[in-house]
Amino acid sequence: MKAFFEAIAFLFEEVLFIPLNLLRQLELTNWVFANAFNWVFLMVGFAGLIYWLGQLKKFDANDEEDRDSTSHSFL
């Protein structure tokens, strides 16, 4: 049973963390490249937010939302 858990530990520490270890080593030499992934994810998130807000504004301008207080049975 001990070998099973050691195999799981080896898988996570030595195999699956290879990209993270490379980023950790890259940070010591070049901060910008090491954080480029963070900036890419941040830009994708902002693009999604801007698209979503644009869609909300478009639907609000067309009055497609039912604003009647009796539109839901629980109200």
Instruction: Please write the tens of the pLDDT for every residue from 1-21.
Output: 999 999 999 999 999 999 888
Instruction: Count other Cβ atoms within 10 Å, centred on residue 58.
Output: 10
pTM for this model (two decimals): 0.56
DSSP string, 11-23: IIIIIITHHHHHH
The closest of 12, 29, 9, 30 to 20, measured between CA atoms, is: 12
Instruction: Please write the tens of the pLDDT for every residue from 9-65.
Output: 999 999 999 988 888 888 889 888 888 888 999 999 999 999 999 999 998 888 777
Calpha distance 24→11 (Å, rounded)? 19
**Cβ(59)–Cβ(65) below 8 Å:** yes
